Amino acid sequence: MFYGIELTSRLMLGTAQYPSPAVLREAIAASGTDVITVSLRREGPDGAAFRQILADSGCRILPNTAGCHTAREAITTARMARELFGTTWIKLEVIGHADTLQPDPFALVEAARVLCADGFEVFPYTTEDLILGEKLVEVGCRVLMPWGAPIGSGQGLRNVEGLRAMRAHFPDVPLVIDAGIGAPSDAARAMEMGFDAVLLNTAVARADDPVAMAAAFARAVEAGRMAHTAGLMPRRDMAQPSTPVFGMAELG
């Protein structure tokens, strides 16, 4: 549940880089997602047509502030998105490093503070840093979106232990793995670790068959969640036989 909204799918899908509008439509449908993200930077001469695709999907729109590098720029973009899309949901990105696209922690917290006070329901793109997560929660964020790896890298979950620690540190805060997911197995692993959802874009949009890949991710997320709720067996340092030795026949 995110800001009081119950969703049926734990997969959130981005809408950039698809080879055609038709493929985007089909990928959204195949993913089964309830939430699609969109940047104001996609707006242009064909903006109305693009928004129609979003409207036809029946999904909740999660606008984002992709490409913003200062708190002021992100705040302005968020307010424009609220007016354009008619939603208080905003995926907050404030980029601090050009190569890794890692968020600027100071600008991120400042922008989140202003937007939360302004009535936004903020989904901050952050790292697995626990102190940064605490600061974001303190200013009003009720969801955290730690990266799996740098945006568009396809590296998967690069700091598994850090993400495990974050999940344990914020047991009551919805956590969404955002960025870096490259394969359905990455998404399944995130869900097995107890994360609440996965947000991805490039792994689907740039696949040879985006529609089939969207369907694959939908199944991976569902399987990972089922595995988590069923209870994964603990890892052991030594082998343990699955067949008990007691009661076995003795051959003399």
Query: pTM to 2 decimals?
Result: 0.90
Is 33 annotated as ligand-binding? no
**Secondary structure (3-state) at 17:** coil
The encoded tokens of residue 211 equal: 């529609």
**Is the residue at 40 inside a domain?**
yes
Domain membership flag for residue 212 = yes
Give domain status of residue 240, yes or no.
no
Cβ contact 2:34 at 8 Å = no
Query: Looking at the domain assignment, is residue 43 inside a domain?
Result: yes
- Which active-site residues does the annotation give? 91
Q: Is the pLDDT of residue 130 over 80?
A: yes
pLDDT of residue 234: 87
Task: Show the domain range for 39.
Answer: 11-230
C-beta atoms surrounding 29 within 10 Å:
16
Report yes or no on 249 lying in a domain. Answer: no
d(CA 18, CA 204): 8
Q: Quick one: which of 219, 218, 241, 221 has its CA closest to 229?
A: 221
| Pairing outcome for strands 89-92 and 145-146 | unpaired
Evaluate whether residue 3 is within a structural domain: no
Give a yes or no: residue 236 inside a domain.
Answer: no
4 in a structural domain: no
Would you say 179 is a known binding-site residue? yes
Mean pLDDT of all residues in 9-30: 94
Whole-number average pLDDT of the chain: 92
CATH number at 193 reads: 3.20.20.70
User: For the segment 226-237, what is each residue's pLDDT rounded down to a tens digit?
Assistant: 999 999 888 888
Q: Is residue 152 marked as binding?
A: yes
pLDDT at 252: 59
Give the chain's domain count: 1
